[in-house]
Amino acid sequence: MKSLRTTVAALAVLAASASAAFAQEITLRSSDTHPDGYPTVEAVKHVGELVKERTDGRITIEVFHSAQLGEEKDTIEQTQFGVIDMNRVSLGPFNNLIPETAVVSLPYIFRDAEHMHRVMDGPIGDEILAAFEPHGLIGLAFYDSGARSFYNSEKPIESVEDLEGMKFRVMQSDVFVDMVDALGGDATPMPYGEVYSAIETGVIDGAENNPPSYQTSGHAEVAGYYSLDEHLIVPEVLVMSKTRWDQLSPEDQEVIRQAAQDSVSVQRELWAEAEKAALEEVIANGAQVNEIDKQPFIDAMAPVYEKYANTPELQDLVERIQAVE
C-alpha cells in the first residue's frame, strides 16, 4: 500500500513538472512613460501580439503606460534588478552608464531620420544593443523619436544668443547638460513627469523634446514657443532585464527578439503619423512654431563632441557614424 502511494505521488510530481516545462505560462511586464496610444506604447503592444501568436498564447506582454511603474531612471534600475521585465526608454538616461549610447545621443550626430535608420539598422546598431548586456540588460530594438527641439514659455528662439541665461529641463544625462551649457543656457536635469509643473511655476523656462512628447505631455499648454533647431535625433530602445531573459529558453528568447525587430517598421509608421499630427495640433491650439538656421547650433557643439568622444574607440564610432551615407 505504502509503495503504491509513493508511486502515485511520484507520478503526480512528474506529471506536474512535465506540464510546467511544456506549457509554462509567462507574463512579462513592460514599462513606458508615455500615454496609451503613443507610438512606442503601441509598438510594444504589437510585440506582445506577435509573441502571443508565435507561442500559442503562452507568453503575454503587459504594457504599463503613462509611467505607472515610475519615472524612466527608476524603471531602468528596476529592469536591471529584474523587478521590471521590459522597458521602452530613450537612450538619454543610459548616457552616463554606457558611453556608446552617449555617442548616438550627441547633438546633430545624425543628419536626418534616414541617416539614423541606416546607422541603427546596421552593424553599429548591433554594437550598441550589445553594449547593454554587461549592465544587466538585453537590447532588443531601436524605435524612432524624431528630432528634439527647444520650447519655452517666454519667446521664440531665433538664434543661439536667445538661449543665453534661459533655464531648460534636460533628460538625466551629462551630454544634454553640456549641450545646453555650450549654447549659453542653463540646464536642469529632471524626470519627465516633473517638467509640466516646473514650467508652470516658473522654476524653468522650458525644455526640449520632439513634437509628440511636447503635445501629449501637455507642455505645449505652458510653453507655447517651439523653435525647430532639431538638435537631437536620439533613438529610443526596447530593453529586457537580463535576469529575466536568462530564465527563458533559447527558443523563447528568439521569439521575443524577432518580435521586437518586427515591430520596428510598425513603430516607424506610427511615429511618422504622430509627429505630423502633433505639430498640426499644437499649432491649432495656439503654439508658435518657428524654423531656425541650425548651422550656429551645430558649430557650438564642438566641445561636447570632444568631451564624449574621448577615447580612440568612441572617436572611431563617431567617424563611422558620420561615414554612413
The only residue of 29, 30, 31, 33 in contact with ligand BDP, by rule CB under 6 A: 33
Q: Where does 208-249 have alpha helices with state H?
A: 211-216, 219-222, 242-245
Hey, is 38 helix, strand or coil?
A: coil
Minimum CB separation of residue 298 from ligand BDP in Å reads 21
Give the binding-site size for ligand BDP (rule: CB under 6 A): 11
Give strand ranges (E) for 123-185: 137-143, 148-152, 167-170
Considering only residues 87-146, where is the footprint of ligand BDP by CB under 6 A?
89-90, 145
Hey, is 262 helix, strand or coil?
A: helix
**Beta carbon nearer to ligand BDP, 55 or 75:** 75
- Provide CB contacts within 8 A for 100, sequence distance 6+: 127, 128, 131, 314, 317
d(CA 266, CA 269): 5
Does 236 help bind ligand BDP (rule: CB under 6 A)? yes
Does 213 help bind ligand BDP (rule: CB under 6 A)? yes
> Which stretch in 5-13, 94-102, 206-214, 265-273 sits in contact with ligand BDP by CB under 6 A?
206-214
**Beta carbon nearer to ligand BDP, 89 or 279:** 89
Does 233 help bind ligand BDP (rule: CB under 6 A)? no
How are strands ordered across the β-sheet holding 167-170? 186-189, 167-170, 206-209, 148-152, 225-232, 288-291
Does 209 help bind ligand BDP (rule: CB under 6 A)? yes
The only residue of 55, 78, 210, 215 in contact with ligand BDP, by rule CB under 6 A: 210
> Which stretch in 49-57, 180-188, 207-215, 259-267 sits in contact with ligand BDP by CB under 6 A?
207-215
- Cell numbers of 294, please? 541650425
d(CA 85, CA 244): 6
Q: Which residues bind ligand BDP (CB under 6 A)?
A: 33, 72, 89-90, 145, 171, 192, 209-210, 213, 236
